[in-house]
Amino acid sequence: MNSMTSGQISSSSKSFKQRKWYIDLNRKPEKFSVANQIENIQPAGYTDKTLSDTTNQEEGNRLIGMRSWDIATGPLKQVPMNMMISWMAGNSIALFPIMFVGMLLFRPFQSMFAMSKAFETIESGQNSIIQKLVYLLGNLVNLAIALYKCHSMGLLPTYASDWLAFANPQERMEYSFGGFSLN
C-alpha cells in the first residue's frame, strides 16, 4: 500500500497548484467555482493580442483568377479522357458504347446551359468573357468528339444511302425484255 504522510500530501498538492492547468476538484462545493479558476487559465499559444490582417486584396484577386481559369479549362481537361474512352468503347452498336455516346452528347449541352451557374461563385473580372469563351470552346470540342464517335459507329445519317426512304425512285431510261430494247 502506499502510505504517505500529511507532509508529503501537502507538498505534492503545492506542486499541483503551481501548475498552470491545475483545478482543485477536492474543494468543498461552496468554495469551488470553476468559472473563477477557468477565467485565468489560457491554452498554450493563446494571446490576447489582435493580429493584423495579413491577406491583401491582390492575393485574393489572384486566387479568384486562378479558380475561374480552373473552371474555364475544366472541359478541355476532359478531352483526352473522352478520346481514350471513345477509342476503348469500339465502334460496335452495343449497350456500353451507346451509353457512352449518350453521356458524351448530353454532358456538353448540360454544361453549356449551366455556364452561368458554373461561374456565379466567381466574381466577374476583366477576363470573365474570355474564360466563358474557353469554357464554351471546351464543351464544343467534347461535342465534336461525340459527333465523330456517332459518325464512326454509323449513327449519323451522312451518306446518301441513309436517306433512301425520302428519295424519289429513279426514272428508268429504258426497259428491256428478252433481248429487245424498248425506248
51 has a pLDDT exceeding 80: no
Q: How far apart are the first and last CA of the chain?
A: 131
Separation between Cα atoms, residue 130 and residue 34, nearest integer Å: 61
What is the share, in percent, of the chain residues with pLDDT greater than 70?
69
Higher pLDDT, 50 or 92: 92
Higher pLDDT, 107 or 128: 107
Average pLDDT over all residues of the chain: 77
Containing 13, the helix (H) or strand (E) segment is: helix 6-18
Grid cell locating 45:
499559444
Identify the band that residue 32 occupies on the pLDDT scale cut at 50, 70 and 90: very low
User: Comparing 20-24, 41-45, 60-64, 153-157, which segment has the lowest mean pLDDT?
Assistant: 20-24
Q: What SS3 class is residue 122? A: coil
Containing 89, the helix (H) or strand (E) segment is: helix 79-89
Q: How far is CA 57 from its chain centroid?
A: 26
Cα-based distances in Å from 33 to 17, 23, 26, 115, 149: 15, 10, 12, 59, 76
Identify the band that residue 15 occupies on the pLDDT scale cut at 50, 70 and 90: low
- Side-chain-side CA neighbours of residue 160 (13 Å): 2
**Residue 173: exposed, middle, or buried by beta-carbon count in 10 A (0-12, 13-18, 19+)?**
exposed
Of 49, 68, 65, give the one whose Cα is nearest residue 57: 65
